[in-house]
Amino acid sequence: MYPRNLLLALAAPLAVMAQQAFFASPVVDLPVPEQDLHALSETEFTTFMHPSYPKHRVRVKKTTGWCDTTGAASFTGYIDIDAHHLFFYFFESRNKPAEDPVLMWINGSSAMGLFDELGPCSIGKEEKPIHNPWSWSNNASVFFLDQPVRVGFSYADHGEKRTTSEAAVDFAAFATIFFESFTKFKGLPFHMSGESYAGRYLPEFAAALYDANTLAVTEGRTPVNLQSVIIGNGFTTMLHMCLSSYDLLCTSASVEPLLPISVCVRMKTVMPRCKKWYTASCVNSFDTINCEAAMEFCMQELFFVQGKTGRDPYDLTYPCDSPPNSEVSLCYRESENEHIESYLNRANVRKMLGVDKAVGNFSMSSGQVNMDFAMAGDLMLSSRPHTVELLERGIRVLSYVGTYDWIANWVGNLRSANELEWSGANRFRAAELREWSVQGKKAGIVKSFGPFTFATVDSASHLVPREKPEESLAMLNRWLSEKPL
């Protein structure tokens, strides 16, 4: 059984939940998706369907002007997949939406990424949208997807998705129907992005979409032009995060050493045992019971000692008053998101977005979906094999990490990157770590070969775009332009 504190720690920055309810807003059915998005209604949904997906539909309404005040168009809606209903926000590029790439962002409820990191607006203490000049929509059309069901404003009539593999099926359907319905964007470069547990699910989501493209070609449809996967502060595997916990807490890899020498000595001693047991039970031959036991041992000895530091696990420079004997410091600055919750719970805002009146209060505090995924064994699995297969097929992968983050830290992510076994592995490992800069100032370090790039962002925590908006946007623009960082 996984300790609850770990699951909550993984959930905290991205588990924005809403209660499920049936959606009963008015719709206008359009079986052939050829209408201009700009002609859509602002008061009711228009429903798009496609003959290749008779059990699916997309409900969309126009919401231009509520968040992006530059004049760029925006929309909200649902993708209905059988009994599952995924909510999304979509913002056209501020630059050239008919030409610019399309970017997807997922992190639990995407509202955190939208309003607190990289969207066209943030929500201030006055509970009003504030223009974000560093939005990732400056040169890309961006949709924020509440995935899986039961996060954000997404819901299910019945049934749930409890593993990444199950959720990947819904995502592949969403992406396919999105581009089939919104023909204006069909064929444009598509990039998938997210953070934290995205290190687990994004590679598998991308792999499911890549395979779905094979069906599209068979049916004579235009496949989704999948170009890259962008993972911020990704939680790759428990082993990499446990072993690198020593580096972050006992050396100067991020900040000064934070634990007593006696604790660090014990961590150093048990690291080989943790690696051997985990590798034998979770990697070489997967055994559920033994793998869970290995994870329990590694977490107790190497992971939960972070609670002794008095620091925020998402930002080691931030003081944290943990409860006595806390396993992981759960002091993430959730109070800063209270105004977002309050804004999204306002009746006029929910009506404008198209949220059903029966949906419960929007909350940043529940990690139930993350708990469900973990209890189903999802945390024991790895998407690293999917990353390998994507690289072998030329899909570019960018892994970036803020250097002050502990829970999905840069040392563990770099080791994970170096240990991937793909055709370019040796040359990637041999690649030199060099500085990358923005406006003549060092922004971090980077190494790259072929389709694979790893980069750090100096003095950033778990939420890089929030704390380093200029640097993260420069990184994104270079990546989308296929230029070296």
* Number of Cβ atoms within 10 Å of the Cβ of 219: 10
> Is the peptide bond between 148 and the residue preceding it cis, with omega within 30 degrees of 0?
yes
- Give which of 131, 109, 268, 126 is closest to 194, Cα–Cα: 109
Contact 105, 192 (CB under 8 A): no
Query: What string of DSSP letters covers 216-244?
Result: HHHTTPPPP-EEEEEEES----HHHHHHH
**Residue type at position 372:** D
User: Are the CB atoms for 281 and 287 separated by under 8 Å?
Assistant: yes
Catalytic (active site) residue 193: no
Q: How many whole angstroms separate alpha carbon 441 and alpha carbon 365?
A: 37
Residue tagged active-site, from 405, 416, 448, 472: 405
Q: Provide CB contacts within 8 A for 1, sequence distance 6+.
A: 292
Question: What b/e string do you get for 179-195 counting C-beta neighbours within 10 Å, with b at 16 or more?
Answer: bbbbeebbebbbbbbbb
Say how many residues make up the chain: 485
Q: Can you tell me the distance from the alpha carbon of 257 to that of 27, in angstroms, rounded to the nearest whole number?
A: 58
Q: Are 101 and 187 in contact (CB under 8 A)?
A: no
Residue 245 catalytic?
Answer: no
Report the 10 Å Cβ neighbour count for 166.
16
> How many C-beta atoms lie closer than 10 Å to residue 231's C-beta?
27
- Structure tokens belonging to residue 295: 């994870």
Catalytic annotation on 462? yes
Report the Cα 66 to chain-centroid distance in Å: 24
Q: In sequence order, what DSSP letters do the residues of 106-168 get, joined into one string?
A: ESSSTHHHIIIIISSEEE-TTSSEEE-TT-GGGSSEEEEE--STTBTT-EESS----SHHHHH
Is 267 exposed, middle or buried, given 0-12, 13-18 or 19+ CB atoms closer than 10 A? buried
Which entry of 109, 135, 181, 196 is annotated as an active-site residue?
Answer: 196
Catalytic residue, chosen from 329, 383, 462, 472, is 462
List own/partner pairs for 300-303 with CB under 8 A and 24 or more apart: 301/266, 301/267, 301/270, 301/274, 302/242, 302/243, 302/245, 302/246, 302/267, 302/270, 302/271, 302/274, 303/6, 303/238, 303/241, 303/242, 303/245, 303/327, 303/328
Helix (H, G, I), strand (E, B), or coil: what is residue 36? coil
Q: Which three-class secondary structure state does DSSP give residue 370? A: helix
Q: Which two tokens stand for residue 470?
A: 């200029």
Q: Which residues are catalytic?
A: 196, 405, 462
